[in-house]
Structure 1
Amino acid sequence: MRSREASRTAEFMAVFRASEHAKAPTSRAFADPLAAALLPGGFRLAARLFSMRPAAALLNAYIDRRWPGARTSGIARTKLIDDWIGQAACGIDQVVLLGAGFDTRAWRLDALAAARIFEVDHPNTATVKQARLRSAHADLGKVTFVRVDFEIDDFDRLLRAAGFDAARPAIVVWEGVSQYLTGEAVCGVLRWVGGLAPGSRFIFTYIHEGVLNGSAAFVGADKAIAKVDGSGEPWRFGLLPEELPGFLRERGLSLLSDLGADEYRERVMGAASRHMQGYSFYHTVLAEVPGA
């Protein structure tokens, strides 16, 4: 991440959510009225274009050519994670969003209305996000913000100091982050989640290791890597799906579901997803701390 700037990938995800919100209520996967407000000037103009049907189609087509599968994968995984959170929130009332970026679930998910929500993120992104939310008149009191640099800070200590109760079950969401960190940092986060109260749910994403070492071919992977490298936020960590159950088990977690982008696009978008290619190397995972 560049000094004093918000995460560029967080802004891209907000663009994708804004594009979905601009659809008719009967046809969109979710609503996100704050997504456009979180964008900088140039991206905010694009968000306004999404509300104009011919312009929206052209803009979405342009994004899909430049970054194959990223938009549709991002939209589908947002809905998938929303659903998993809603299911878990029936019995768990504290939520931790690790590397929250421009996530707006605290404001748009009714299932979290009574939950204590902690957003843990890099100070640069957190500062920009809070300023833009204030400008949009969002209620910042819905969230406890915890500023952390995952590479150097003890986020467990900072989170507890902010009021998180590790003795009670929690929903932990770690979306779109693991690939930017070192293996040591990723393993540290998973060990921390594995040590939480039994019954805690862990939702996270990872990329297929083959996209990093060239051992597997994926449509659009070269464009995706070039894009993130150019943004100053290169990918550094990946996993092999067949090794995931053991990887989680060694860190105190039990795998419940591991879906690649093609699978969760089909789950969310149905038959239309058959014409969507790209980002099949991206996975979204639901795990739990066993023993409840």
Structure 2
Amino acid sequence: MFRASEHAKGTGQRLFADPLAVALLPGSLRLSAKLLAVRPVSSMLARYIDRQWPGARTSGIARTRLIDDWIAESIGQAEQLVLLGAGFDTRAWRLGALDAVKVFEVDHPATAKVKRQRLQAAGADMNRVTFVAVDFEIDDFEVRLRDAGFDLARRSIVVWEGVSQYLTGEAVCGVMRWAGRLAPGSRFIFTYVHEGVIDGSVAFDGADKVVAKVGVSGEPWRFGLLPGELPGFLRERGLRLVSDLGADQYRERVMGQAGRDMHGYSFYHTVLAEVGDA
């Protein structure tokens, strides 16, 4: 919905285009999303969301553009892109820079099935993606990726967005160790939440409401990191930190002055890391 709302702003005003975002919404929300093109409706919805969940919308939109930019900057030196836990990501169709790159989407079979059905109904070219169905509870995603044609020896970009906070520390470390074994020069883009949100040791504007909501939904946040410890954490897993931006920083980076006036979700971080030489 956030991506659909940004697309509705039109050329020259939006941070990115995503014509498939509406098609990926459940039917009950598609009409509402189409109304976003009506300026008063869009403004009212944005104000309502920003009051209910301070920073969630602006963080999500800015994070999308930031990751888009990092992919575009890295694509010239990569041959493969992996969207790990892809969800309803549409970068394979949105980003022209990916035309010459093999794209793998790794996700749960049920989620992938719904996504493919909605994309096919919207007329999307399904050949742009190699779908890799993985039940992370029982399957080895490394084996499934390899069987689908992913080559660990080729320089790659891996995007792991909006996932790590839901997993155990053991699971997160396992993914990062895998990323650290990619070909030297590969890029690993991921998000995390500040550990202080998980254990309650640091207060962030709006964090209590967000944590309570995800807890009630049955998918509580379980894992976080401390920004000061991130370089060492990555280094131990074969990765070098290139950039670690909190929401306040990446909003300002992609939105300029408008971003500096936005608040909330400052506990959310987006990271660019690189695989070093073995």
With the length of structure 1 as denominator, give the TM-score of the two structures: 0.93
Q: Distance in 1 between matches of 2:104 and 2:61?
A: 23
Indicate conservation of the 8 Å contact 1:37/1:136, yes or no: yes
Letter in 1 for 2:163: V
TM superposition shift of 1:276 = 1.3
1:203 corresponds to: 189
- What are the equivalent positions in structure 2 for 1:44-123 lying under 5 Å apart? 44-123=30-109
Distance 1:134 1:155 in 2: 25
Name the CA shift for 1:46/1:232 in 2 (closer, same or farther; >3 Å).
farther
How far did residue 209 of structure 1 move? 0.4
Tell me by how many angstroms 1:234 deviates.
1.5
The C-alpha deviation readout for 1:10-60, integer Å capped at 9, x for no partner, is: xxxxx1000000002101100000001000123222211211000110011
Work out the CA distance in 1 between the residues paired with 2:236 and 2:44: 47
Range with greater deviation from structure 2 (38-47 or 245-254): 38-47
Q: Counterpart of 1:50 in 2: which secondary structure? A: helix
Counterpart CA distance in 2 for 1:46 and 1:234 is 28
Contact 1:211 1:217 in 2 (8 A): yes
SS at match of 2:37: coil
SS of 2:272's partner is strand
Q: CA deviation at 1:224?
A: 1.0
**Matches of 1:199 and 1:83 in 2, distance apart?**
17
Q: Match for residue 272 of structure 1?
A: 258
Match of 2:29 in 1: 43
- 2:112 equivalent among 126, 149, 152: 126
Q: Does the 8 Å CA contact 2:79/2:154 hold for their aligned counterparts?
A: no
Of the candidates 5, 11, 14, which is equivalent to residue 28 of structure 1? 14
Question: In 2, are the aligned partners of 1:68 and 1:223 still within 8 Å (CA)?
Answer: no
Distance 1:168 1:24 in 2: 37
1:291 counterpart = 2:268: no
For this pair of structures, how many residues does the alignment match? 278
Assess if the C-alpha contact under 8 Å between 2:180 and 2:239 holds in 1: yes
* 1:246 aligned partner: 232
One-letter amino acid of the counterpart of residue 63, structure 1 = I
Deviation at 1:91, TM superposition (A): 1.6
2:126 match: 140
Q: SS in structure 2 opposite 1:145?
A: strand
Partner of 2:203: 217
Letter in 2 for 1:204: F
1:188 lines up with 2:174 in the alignment? yes
1:91 alignment partner AA? Q
Q: Contact 1:151/1:185 (CA < 8 Å) preserved in 2?
A: no
Distance 2:111 2:216 in 1: 18
State the alpha-carbon separation in 2 of the partners of residues 230 and 26 from structure 1. Answer: 39
CA distance in 2, matches of 1:136, 1:226: 35
The separation in 1 between residues aligned to 2:212 and 2:3, in whole angstroms, is: 22
Q: Structure 1: give runs of 5+ residues left out of the alignment.
A: 1-14
* 1:164 pairs with one of 139, 144, 150: 150
Residue identity in the other structure for 2:17: A
